[in-house]
Amino acid sequence: MNPLRTTRALVASATAVVLALGSASLARAAVPADHSDDGRITIGIKFDQPGIGLKTPDGTYTGFDVDVATYVAKQLGHDPSDIVWKEAKSADREAMLQRGDVDFIAASYSINDERAKKVDFAGPYLLAHQDVLIRADDESIKKPSDLNDKKLCSVTGSTSAQNVKEKIAPDAQLQEYGGYSECLTGLENGVIDALTTDDSILAGYAAQDEFKGEFKLGGFELSNENYGIGVQKGSDLKDRINTALEKMVADGSWQAAVDKNFGPAGYRNEPAPKIGVVVE
């Protein structure tokens, strides 16, 4: 037997095995977390948005997205004790789904065409709008154009503030801080005049016990933000989650979650959106 030919055959066989194992590993990595045998389900949420998704100091989780996700998980056959909560920062959400780090994500996740190329969306389950939060006694900001010459705050890199600056009030004095809580402190102290992002997020901050009565929403509908539940591309979870969301709306649980998480801020929420219909 030709030794060189034998060596080549062995190398080819070893390479095939390595490639097969690698492919298997990739396939396993793409399987969502609830396909394991332990009966648990992993859900991505925000950890730092009061009223939406918040990890509290005692290690519990609160917010509208948390309530929606818990309801959906129940309809999928999982008790609250089965849920593993995982932080889903905005920049990480598509990658988390593509890697199979989570089964689904409910994290103030606006549906748009660019994201829909990478992941699938169930919902929408909430129609939010970009708005502003101002001090409750401020009578100088009654319409979007009143933001001209005002100190407007949002987080660094936010598209919300740029949207106002470029399209609504070009003379607004844009202040960019590291986080919304910093903007809120500035608003409370009079250092800034208005904070802008989704009205649902603003309502969550304003509804905190320490801020009740201090702030109000402007009531401006500066954009449409259709919150969806992100799943892996091609996952059968999309249809199952849509069925769960339809039931949540029908049995009154959706409205109860809205009232619980946003009510203290006087948030005038839109009616429950029709599942599967994105409002442009």
Reported as a single tens digit per residue, the pLDDT across 126-178 is: 999 999 999 999 999 999 999 999 999 988 767 787 788 888 999 999 988 88
Whether 241 is in a domain gets the answer: yes
pLDDT band at 120 (very low <50, low <70, confident <90, very high): very high
Residues 124 and 51 grouped into a single domain: yes
> What pLDDT is recorded for position 22?
45
Q: Among 11-20, 180-189, 252-261, whose mean pLDDT is lowest?
A: 11-20
> What pLDDT is recorded for position 269?
83
Residues 200 and 64 grouped into a single domain: no
CATH number, domain with residue 57: 3.40.190.10
Residues 183 and 250 grouped into a single domain: no
For the residues 21-44, what does the mean pLDDT come to? 57
* Burial classification of residue 230, based on how many CB atoms lie within 10 Å of its CB (0-12 exposed, 13-18 middle, 19 or more buried): buried
* Domain of residue 117, residue span: 37-128+225-265
The residue from 184, 217, 250 where one domain ends is 217
pLDDT band at 37 (very low <50, low <70, confident <90, very high): low
0.75 surpassed by pTM? yes
Residues 90 and 120 grouped into a single domain: yes
Residues 124 and 134 grouped into a single domain: no
> What pLDDT is recorded for position 157?
61
Q: Among 113-122, 164-173, 260-269, whose mean pLDDT is lowest?
A: 260-269
For the chain, give the percent of residues with pLDDT over 90. Answer: 67
* Burial classification of residue 154, based on how many CB atoms lie within 10 Å of its CB (0-12 exposed, 13-18 middle, 19 or more buried): buried
Average pLDDT score over the chain: 86
The residue from 187, 217, 247 where one domain ends is 217
> What pLDDT is recorded for position 110?
92
Whether 273 is in a domain gets the answer: no
pLDDT at 9 over 60: no
Number of independent structural domains in the chain: 2
